[in-house]
Amino acid sequence: MRHKEILDTQKEYVISMRREFHKNPEISWNEFRTSKRIKEELDAIGIPWIACAKTGLVATLEGEKPGSVVALRADIDALPVTEQNDVPYKSINKGVMHACGHDGHAAMLLGAARALKSIRGELAGTVKFLFQPAEEKAGGAKLMIEDGALEGVDAIMGIHLWNDIPAGKMNIQAGPRMASGDVVFIDFIGKGGHGSLPNQTVDPIVVASSFIMNSQAMLSREKSPLETVVFTLGEFKAGTRFNVIPEKAHMEGTFRCFSQEARKRTGEAIKRYAEETARSFRAQAKVSIVEAMPATINDPAVAETVKTVAEKVVGSENLVWQEKTTGSEDMAYYLQKIPGAIAFVGSGSSEKGKSFPHHHPKFDINEEGLANGTALYFGFAVEYLEQNH
């Protein structure tokens, strides 16, 4: 009961901080003001911190008694999106917006830090608070790890506010939760010429079009019908004039999977099919695949601990099942190193026209979900340290 009262005192603070972050968004690797404000708040709380991963930081709260080390992670970057909401806390930075909920993540973690500091005497172990930059660029978590953010850490938990789940509900499940995300670059190189004499050319637009139209059918025969693979080509550039056949067609895309084996096999299939398609038209294909993020896979034991805490926060009846998503999250890098889990905390609104998807220019969260996320951060740290002291 005392813990609930402590958390209740953080509600207005968390909402206020979330709105401040929302009003002053910063894109990946440019979170200078955000980082400065988090440091100021931690100083006010009395929790020491060190800079990490350029604009990130790691704060450390040592309990009165020895024990395990648990980490809580929040990402802090925004997106290059122009906000279309008419709210008092609307972004003042042109073309930049917190369109994914990271403003809420940072605010909830600060609220949890304040609450945990107030019960420091009860803690048997250490809590590390990871405020991570550049999740949207898929590089922040890697640099945090390289800079030592996970040194000595036994387990980690992260939260993603989720508009597909109504506020007041949560989702925590073991196993794959989000997909890997890799980037594909393809150049089809032909022979240019006049549009009236295609027989004198090797048209790379035709080659690229054939690849686009047939790649989905090809992949459907490369994988099990029970396996999820998503391949999307989002960029296609070719040509300069209506009657000129160009030398080259350029494409960029992404593919998503839930296992390392499927990831490797899909990349090999895309490369092979692009090269074979080009060869059949007497063209060439140059394929480059850049590995971005691995799949986000929750550790069963840690997920069970998070679930236990979530039941206390929102009740077992408000824990919902959710299919894994083909979106990607660089929380995956932490989970490759140590046991951990990511939880989806409901932030959707039941009011018609109020709940927009992530990355939408009208994205906003139902702030009722912030208290639940704060309590989940707090409760997981307490529960894990009690179980593992």
Residues 163 and 190 in one domain: no
pLDDT at 239 over 80: yes
pLDDT tier, 354 (very low <50, low <70, confident <90, very high otherwise) = confident
**What are the tens digits of pLDDT across the range 50-62?**
999 999 999 999 9
Strand 181-189: give its sheet, edge to edge: 230-238, 248-256, 181-189, 284-293
pLDDT at 1 over 70: no
Place of tokens 């990349």: 267
pLDDT at 212 over 70: yes
pLDDT at 352 over 90: no
Structure tokens at 111: 């609220």
Residues 133 and 228 in one domain: no
Residues 116 and 133 in one domain: yes
Residues 287 and 301 in one domain: no
Residues 162 and 74 in one domain: yes
- Specify the DSSP class assigned to residue 129: E
Instruction: Give me the chain's average pLDDT, please.
Output: 96
Residues 121 and 167 in one domain: yes
Domain boundary among 245, 260, 293: 293
Within a 10 A sphere around the Cβ of 382, how many other Cβ atoms? 21
Contact between 159 and 369 under an 8 Å Cβ cutoff? The reply is no
Residues 299 and 289 in one domain: no
Residues 282 and 272 in one domain: yes
Within a 10 A sphere around the Cβ of 133, how many other Cβ atoms? 30
Rounded to an integer, what distance in angstroms lies between the CA atom of residue 60 and that of residue 55?
17
pLDDT tier, 22 (very low <50, low <70, confident <90, very high otherwise) = very high
pTM: 0.92
Task: Please report, as a single letter, which amino acid is at residue 241.
Answer: R
**What are the tens digits of pLDDT across the range 176-198?**
999 999 999 999 999 999 999 99
pLDDT at 350 over 90: no
As a whole-number percent, the residues of the chain with pLDDT over 70 amount to 100
Domain boundary among 232, 258, 293: 293
pLDDT at 111 over 80: yes
pLDDT tier, 372 (very low <50, low <70, confident <90, very high otherwise) = very high
**According to the model, what pLDDT value does residue 355 have?**
86
pLDDT at 12 over 80: yes
Residues 42 and 116 in one domain: yes
Domain boundary among 293, 328, 350: 293
**According to the model, what pLDDT value does residue 2 have?**
83
Residues 235 and 314 in one domain: no
Residue 317's SS3 state is helix
Angle at which helix 368-387 crosses helix 300-314, to 10 degrees, equals: 130
Rounded to an integer, what distance in angstroms lies between the CA atom of residue 378 and that of residue 127?
10
Strand 340-348: give its sheet, edge to edge: 49-52, 56-62, 124-132, 65-75, 155-166, 340-348, 170-171
Contact between 74 and 109 under an 8 Å Cβ cutoff? The reply is yes
* Mean pLDDT, residues 272-277 taken together: 98
Q: How many domains is the chain partitioned into structurally?
A: 2
Q: Which CATH number covers residue 64?
A: 3.40.630.10
List Cβ neighbours of 81 (8 Å cut-off, separation of 6 or more): 95, 96, 97, 99, 359, 360, 361
* Mean pLDDT, residues 246-257 taken together: 97
Q: Can you give the residue range of the structural domain that contains 264?
A: 181-293
Least confident range of 1-10, 154-163, 266-275 = 1-10
**What are the tens digits of pLDDT across the range 113-164?**
999 999 999 999 999 999 999 999 988 999 999 999 999 999 999 999 999 9
How many angstroms separate the Cα of 59 from the Cα of each of 7, 35, 91, 150, 197?
Answer: 20, 12, 27, 12, 67
Q: Which CATH number covers residue 197?
A: 3.30.70.360
pLDDT at 292 over 90: no
Residue 47's SS3 state is coil
pLDDT at 378 over 70: yes
Residues 138 and 67 in one domain: yes
* Mean pLDDT, residues 38-49 taken together: 98
Residues 46 and 74 in one domain: yes
**According to the model, what pLDDT value does residue 281 have?**
98
